[in-house]
Amino acid sequence: MANLIGDMARAVGLPRLKRAAGVVTRRLPIPQPLLMVGPGASLRLAQAVANFGHRKVFVVTDAVIVKLGLLQPVLDALSAADAGFVVFDTVTPDAPIPVIESGIARYEAKGCDALLAFGGGSVMDAAKVIGLAAANRKHPRELVGYFKGLRAPPPIYAVPTTAGTGSEVTVAAVISDPETHQKLVVADTRLVPRIAALDPALMTGLPAPITAATGMDALTHAVEAYLGEWGTPYTDRMALAAVAMIYRQLPQACTNGRDLEAREQMALASTYAGLAFTRANVGNVHAIAHQLGGRYGTPHGLANAIVLPAVLHWCAPAVQGKLATLAVRAGVGKAGEEEAELARRFVASVEDMNRAIGIPAQLAALRADDIPALAAAACAEADANYPVPMVMSATACESLLLGLLPESPKAARAPRRKPAPESVPVKARKVARDVKAAPTRKATAKRR
């Protein structure tokens, strides 16, 4: 009953707030980094950074990247140009707060005045928060939410070494709190890096499972940005271009990681998807995936990949036309074919893609006992943040998660292919606009 009341309140109250937020987001000037693209782009970025004459650049990375020798040429380029730098190489997946704390201390102790992030989303996000925290003398927890720092961070430069998060162009940084098992978002337009280098040569050794998971993160960004209610002609173009590129290149990047062309196209697709979702935002898939990442440490891209088909099955009736367009851009159908059939084919193609690149259909770590809390937190996150095309009830979310349980008898019973009746398509909700707005739920977490 409590859930039902909550679901009704959410259906009639929050859309107004989110529409208002959508108007603001559409008008917000979001800077776009200068992009350097192609093999060797990271060295060109290093030369440009050296020429800016910073006192000392704080190079943020992780131990795997250092061990693989990927960073050394960039450090050599900085040294050759007489640029001062300090390397901070202890970032771990999901940028945990204690790691960021030690980064802030090191940044300040060494008197740095710029940051160069060289790694995946975890590294880029750690660098963003280290910079913002140092500029504002605040703890990372105090920066969670939107525009929580008065002062701008020092200049941030980014070299992504995975093709997935798009963090090199986004306003967001996702960090994790090991104490509460939550993932938290820090968002500020000044977190967008000034220059980003998309260097496919750095990605040729990325193992296939990470290539697959991060690629599906990029696909999820593009799909959720396109299906959500804040899309603009610009974000739609970026999202659709990203989908087309990912469908063409992701299987090849997984099976032949040394294919520079496939790697470059995936890096570009990830950036395009980032440009789309940093304005149009994400949706229910991310809301659920963040809970799985926080609770079980499931890699972000893997969680999205497993959840995406289930959410698409569930919301398909509300977004059939858009799914049909996605099918055409993904190359699994032709313009002019029947819309319902195209939509069905796109959803099936996401499952086929997962299968082809080795993503499981269920989540091994998921426990049935956790599902009610996971569903409640996912709904709260989506309510507070995301312009979803269809509001997900806690009941529908629980059903969906039951379908992801490994080898559970409940999995077989879970109604994965039908929308739960108590879930409310956004278009249907609009007739309820004049119903007195219910008090909004406070966000329990702001995440991306």
Ligand X SMILES: NC(=O)c1ccc[n+]([C@@H]2O[C@H](COP(=O)([O-])OP(=O)(O)OC[C@H]3O[C@@H](n4cnc5c(N)ncnc54)[C@H](O)[C@@H]3O)[C@@H](O)[C@H]2O)c1
**Residues forming the site for ligand X (CB under 6 A):** 62, 64-65, 68, 70, 93-95, 119-123, 125, 161-162, 164-167, 170, 172-174, 183, 202-203, 205-206, 210, 214, 217, 300-301, 448
Q: Quick one: 165 or 393, whose CB is closer to ligand X?
A: 165
Q: Mind giving me the DSSP string for 62-118?
A: -HHHHHTT-SHHHHHHHHHTT--EEEE----TT-BHHHHHHHHHHHHHTT--EEEEE
Residue 415's CB is within 10 A of a number of other CB atoms, namely 14
With CB under 5 A as the contact rule, which of the stretches 23-31, 146-154, 215-223, 439-447 interacts with Fe ion?
215-223
Q: Quick one: 96 or 121, whose CB is closer to Fe ion?
A: 121
Question: By CB under 5 A, is residue 125 in contact with Fe ion?
Answer: no
3-class secondary structure, 341: helix
Contacted entry of Fe ion, ligand X, none for residue 329, CB cut-off 5 to 8 Å set by kind:
none
Minimal distance, residue 169 CB to Fe ion, in Å: 13
Q: What's the CA gap between 104 and 431, in Å, rounded?
A: 50
Contacted entry of Fe ion, ligand X, none for residue 65, CB cut-off 5 to 8 Å set by kind:
ligand X
Minimal distance, residue 294 CB to ligand X, in Å: 10
Both tokens of residue 114?
């710029």
Q: Quick one: 191 or 324, whose CB is closer to ligand X?
A: 191
Q: What's the CA gap between 419 and 7, in Å, rounded?
A: 15
Q: Which residues contact 172 (CB under 8 A, 6 or more apart)?
A: 125, 185, 186, 187, 191, 278, 448
Minimal distance, residue 55 CB to Fe ion, in Å: 34
Q: What's the CA gap between 58 and 288, in Å, rounded?
A: 34
Contacted entry of Fe ion, ligand X, none for residue 164, CB cut-off 5 to 8 Å set by kind:
ligand X
Minimal distance, residue 160 CB to ligand X, in Å: 7
Minimal distance, residue 117 CB to ligand X, in Å: 10
Minimal distance, residue 332 CB to ligand X, in Å: 25
Q: What's the CA gap between 227 and 412, in Å, rounded?
A: 28
Q: Quick one: 49 or 203, whose CB is closer to ligand X?
A: 203
Options 7, 125, 199, 217; binder of Fe ion; rule CB under 5 A: 217
Q: Which residues contact 119 (CB under 8 A, 6 or more apart)?
A: 60, 61, 62, 65, 91, 159, 160, 161, 162
Where do contacts with Fe ion occur on this chain (CB under 5 A)?
A: 217
